[in-house]
C-alpha cells in the first residue's frame, strides 16, 4: 500500500514568516510530485509540481524534492492570511495519485 504522510497541523505562522510544509512517501519509483491547496469547503487546487531533485520556485512558493530520502516539502515565503488553507501532498503512481491527508496552515495577521 503506497503511503504519503503529512503532519496534520495546524501549523501556525505569523504574517510575513516562512511556512514550511513537509511530506514523506513510501513508493521509491515515484517520479512526479504535487502540492495542492484546499480552502475550507472548496476543492483542491494544484499549486506546484516537481519532478527532479532540488528546488523549484514559483513566486512565493518553493517546492523541494529529495528522492533518496523520499521527502517533499513546500516553502511559502512572506506568508499571508490568504494562504491559510489545507495543503495536500500528492505522489504519482502508474494510474493514480496518492494523497496525504493534508497539513492545515494558519497565518495570523
Applying CB under 8 A, the residues found at the interface with another protein are 31-32, 34, 42-46, 49, 51, 88, 90, 92-97, 99-102
Nearer to another protein, 35 or 79 (CB): 35
SS3 83: helix
CB of 14 to another protein, least distance (A): 27
Q: How many other CB atoms are found less than 10 A from the CB of residue 11?
A: 17
- Cβ of residue 104: shortest distance to another protein, in angstroms? 11
Q: By the 8 A CB rule, do 58 and 49 touch?
A: no
> CB of 105: closest distance to another protein in angstroms?
16
> Rounded distance, CA 76 to CA 40, Å?
19
Amino acid at each position: 500500500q503506497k503511503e504519503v504522510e503529512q503532519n496534520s497541523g495546524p501549523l501556525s505562522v505569523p504574517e510575513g514568516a516562512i511556512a514550511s510544509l513537509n511530506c514523506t512517501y513510501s513508493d521509491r519509483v515515484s517520479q512526479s510530485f504535487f502540492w495542492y491547496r484546499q480552502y475550507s469547503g472548496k476543492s483542491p487546487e494544484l499549486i506546484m509540481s516537481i519532478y527532479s531533485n532540488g528546488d523549484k520556485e514559483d513566486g512565493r512558493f518553493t517546492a523541494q524534492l529529495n528522492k533518496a530520502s523520499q521527502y517533499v516539502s513546500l516553502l511559502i515565503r512572506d506568508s499571508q492570511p490568504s494562504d491559510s488553507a489545507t495543503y495536500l501532498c500528492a505522489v504519482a503512481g502508474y494510474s493514480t495519485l496518492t494523497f496525504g491527508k493534508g497539513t492545515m496552515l494558519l497565518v495570523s495577521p
